[in-house]
């Protein structure tokens, strides 16, 4: 895994110590599950935006499998 947060938090060392490995492909959570699915102008965009904006999530969340 090449992400800076993984390096900063020592994910590789934790994985090695616990005999774990990183998955090559995400299979549990879709990539960027909190990203907007609709485009501006699509039916339902405003509702989707308001729901995500009101949730308190930034859209920059990271998931590790």
What is the chain's pLDDT, residue by residue, as a tens digit (65 residues)?
Answer: 457 878 888 888 998 999 988 888 878 888 778 888 999 999 999 999 999 889 888 767 777 76
Domain that holds residue 48: 24-65
Inside any domain, residue 28: yes
Which residue, 56, 20, 24, 49, is CA-closest to 10?
20
Examine residue 61 and state whether it is found in any structural domain, yes or no: yes
| Domain-embedded: residue 6 | no
Instruction: List all residues 6 or more positions away from 28 whose beta carbon is below 8 Å from its beta carbon.
Output: 65
In a domain, 12, yes or no: no
pTM for this structure? 0.52
- The verdict on residue 32 lying in a domain is yes
Residue 9 within a domain: no
Tell me how many domains the chain contains: 1
């Amino acid at each position: 895994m090449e992400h800076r947060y993984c390096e900063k938090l020592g994910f590789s060392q934790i994985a090695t110590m616990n005999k774990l490995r990183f998955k090559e492909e995400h299979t549990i959570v879709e990539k960027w599950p909190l990203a907007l699915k609709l485009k501006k102008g699509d039916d339902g965009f405003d509702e989707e935006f308001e729901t995500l904006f009101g949730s308190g999530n930034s859209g920059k969340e990271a998931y590790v499998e």
